[in-house]
Amino acid sequence: MSNAQTIKGDWNQVKGKLQEMWGQLTDDELDKFEGQRDQMIGMIQEKTGAAKEEINKYVESISDSAAAYTQQAMETAREYRDAATEYAQATSAQVRESAEKVAGQISDQAQAGYEEAQRVVRERPAQSLAVSFGVGVLIGVVGGLVLRSR
C-alpha cells in the first residue's frame, strides 16, 4: 500500500474515532483539518466545549493506535515481500538447473551425432564421399535456381 493510501487509511480511522467520541462532528468539518492537528483540536474545542487537553490526549491515543495498525500492516507487507522474493529466487534456481540440464542433454546428443558421423566416414569413406558430393551438387543446383529466379 502506498504512503498516501496508508495516511488516508489512518485519517479515516482517526476521523471515525473522533466522531464516536463527539458525535456532532461532521466529515466535512474534519476533512478541512486533515493533517492540521492544532487547527482541528481548536475546531473540536469550539464545537464541543471539551477541554483542549482532553481533546489533545484523545487525538494522541487514537493517532498512536492508527500508527500501530499501520506499522503492523507494513510489517505484514514486508513479510509477504520477503516470502515472494524467496519463492522467486528458488524458482529461478530451479529454472536455471533445468536449463543447464537440457543444454547438457543437447550437447551430449550433438556430440554423439558428431561421433557417429566420424565413425561412418571412417568405416565407409567412399560412400561418405559420394553422399557429400551428391549433397554439394544438390545445394549447387537449388542455389542456382534460386539465384536465377531473382
The pLDDT assigned to 35 comes to 66
- Three cell numbers written together for 73: 500492516
The pLDDT assigned to 5 comes to 45
25-55 CB burial, b ≥16 within 10 A, e <16: beeebbeebeeeeeebbebbbeebeeeeeeb
Structural contact between residues 117 and 127, judged by C-beta atoms closer than 8 angstroms: no
**Dihedral through CA 109, CA 110, CA 114, CA 120, nearest 10?**
40
Vertex 108: Cα angle to 107 and 113 (nearest 5): 95
The pLDDT assigned to 96 comes to 94
* Distance in angstroms (rounded) separating the CA atoms of residues 127 and 138: 16
Walk along the chain (150 residues) in steps of 10 and give the mean pLDDT of each run: 47 79 82 76 85 85 75 90 94 94 94 93 92 94 91
Class of the CATH-defined domain 3-149: mainly alpha
Share of the chain above pLDDT 90, in %: 48
Backbone angles phi, psi at 14, to 5 degrees: -60, -45
The pLDDT assigned to 4 comes to 42
* Distance in angstroms (rounded) separating the CA atoms of residues 122 and 114: 12
Share of the chain above pLDDT 70, in %: 93
The pLDDT assigned to 105 comes to 95
- What lies within 8 Å, CB to CB, of 31 at 6+ separation is 15
The pLDDT assigned to 7 comes to 44
